[in-house]
Structure 1
Amino acid sequence: MARYDEIGVGYTLGRRTDSRWLAPVLAALGSAASVLDVGSGTGSYEPPSRRVVAVEPSAEMIRQRAPEAAPVVRAVAEALPFASGTFDAALAVLTVHHWGDWRGGLTELRRVSGRQVVLAYDTALHNDFWLVREYVPEVAVLESSRPSAPEIADFLGAASVVPLPVPWDFTDGVFPAYWRRPEAYLDPAVRRSCSALAQTAPAAVSRGMARLAADLESGRWHEEHRELLELPEWDAGFRLIVA
């Protein structure tokens, strides 16, 4: 959509596939030979060695897809241009919160596929992230308006919901990816790759980043969050939902 035509510029620089999330996604797809990847973006988590068709509404995201990526159809989740039961599985990775009608989109996933694999997040846990709680609380307003993983799981009648912790050295720059590397958020390119920050008022983000920079320089952040520095991974609320 127009939103990602604007904020998706340079998306592939910050958002790179991490094998530690790809592996459970592939396991969740099971034996599905044909997969519809809805809201596929640049194709980060498209499964190899399967017949994949991608759906993506943003021309900017489609432009950044690699030549070897799956064929892509420009469409929206709420109106998938495929017959019922076309695919063995439908995949939706960190996209449902961007849909205008998330229930309508999930209904479409169920219509065109026998299995649905959705990677989403618990918005309450995202809002408890230190960056939101202490530096950019305005993000909580946006997150609270988005569908949360428990709602999505309930709507789909999920067979399983698996937590996906965020490793400290995660390569996919999702919003909480740098929970143990706070200096990264001072980089405008990192912030542009996080829709929660890219869609929050620039003045609010700038104020938060100024406070964070000051706390990093004084050592206050490291003192108050020293328990995080010992953790190899952290639960930011990401959930792999299978129905």
Structure 2
Amino acid sequence: MSSAQLYDTIGANYTATRRTEPRIAAQIWAALGDARTVLNVGAGTGSYEPADRYVLAVEPSALMRSQRRPDAAPCLVGSAESLPFDDHSFDAAMAVASIHHWQDPIAGLREMRRVARRVVVFTHDTSDAGWLHRFWLTRDYLPEVANLLAGRPSVTELARAIGARLEPVPIPWDCADGFFEAHWRRPEAYLDEGVRRGVSVWAKVGPDAEQRAVHSLGDDLASGRWAERNRELVDLDTAELGLRLLITN
């Protein structure tokens, strides 16, 4: 299933749970540097688009495009792997939490590098062998996430393809953007189907794995087992769960 087909299926209420997290936005916008023209690739509903610069968006899903605000940046139909722009058309190209849906991530990144002098990509480092064990949801309830990574290039390979550096992105405990790891200190959120529907991981692992994980988590929350296992999280303001920016200079 392509990214457009996926989000045309699951994205109906995307804006209800997937909002711009100001602290992550500030880090992304700082990485854009002095760029005045920005291409947003896989732009979705427009989260994280800076309001003080000229932005042009590219998004393959009609349903996602339909949920963009009336005052959002203009949005074209298109995909990362074949951007309809001349070389160096933009000061910067950005992509936020979309690269894992691209058919060919390296080709998409090289296209971004072709059309812009700077590239900023918000993604995830899954190359660390301990990554799946740092987040309790994948470690204890949803090990199927590991299967979603098969055959995908590592973040190191992605960075090398465009000469990018890596910058860690900490996740605040009260993160406003409901991506997969966002509720690391608010486990009850994962029992909410509306929260889960805004995250592609749940659709990709399938309903059987989803329901097993939800039931198991619900039982552990009710019994106090989750709190006992994860007591060290209570006093943390941010968590390091592998989120990264790829940034070219």
CA 1:105–1:4: 2 relative to 1, 3 Å? same
Whichever residue aligns with residue 142 of structure 1, its letter is L
Residue 77, structure 1, aligned to residue 74, structure 2: no
Deviations 1:171-227 (A, max 9, x none): 000101011110000000111111111211101110111111110000000011000
Q: CA deviation at 1:143?
A: 3.3
The 5 A counterparts of 1:40-189 are 40-123=43-126, 124=128, 127-128=132-133, 129-158=135-164, 160-189=165-194
Partner of 2:24 in structure 1?
21
Q: CA deviation at 1:81?
A: 0.8
Q: Equivalent residue for 1:38?
A: 41
Does the aligned pair in 2 maintain the 1:56–1:76 contact within 8 Å?
yes
Q: TM-score, normalised by structure 1?
A: 0.96
8 Å CA contact 1:121, 1:148 repeated in 2: no
How far has the Cα of 1:145 moved from its partner?
4.3
The CA deviation at 1:3 is 1.1
| Equivalent position amino acid for 2:160 in 1 | D
Amino acid at match of 2:142: V
- Return 136-145 or 228-237, whichever deviates more: 136-145
Quick one: structure 1 residues 8 and 147, their matched pair in 2 at CA, closer, same or farther if it must change by over 3 Å? Answer: farther
Unaligned runs of 5+ in 1: none
Verify the 8 A CA contact 2:41 2:94 in the aligned structure 1: yes
TM-score, normalising length: structure 2? 0.94
3-state SS of 1:240 partner: strand
Q: Output the aligned Cα RMSD.
A: 1.2
Shift of 1:148: 3.6
SS of the equivalent of 2:56 reads strand
- Aligned equivalents of 1:32, 1:177: Cα separation in 2: 28
> Equivalent residue of 1:114, what SS?
strand
Match of 2:225 in 1: 220
CA shift digits 1:89-129 (9 cap, x unpaired): 10011111110011111111011011111111112465222
**Which letter maps to 1:241?**
L
1:6 counterpart = 2:6 = no
Deviation at 1:149, TM superposition (A): 2.6
Q: 4+ runs of 1 displaced by more than 4 Å?
A: none
What number of residue pairs does the alignment pair up? 242
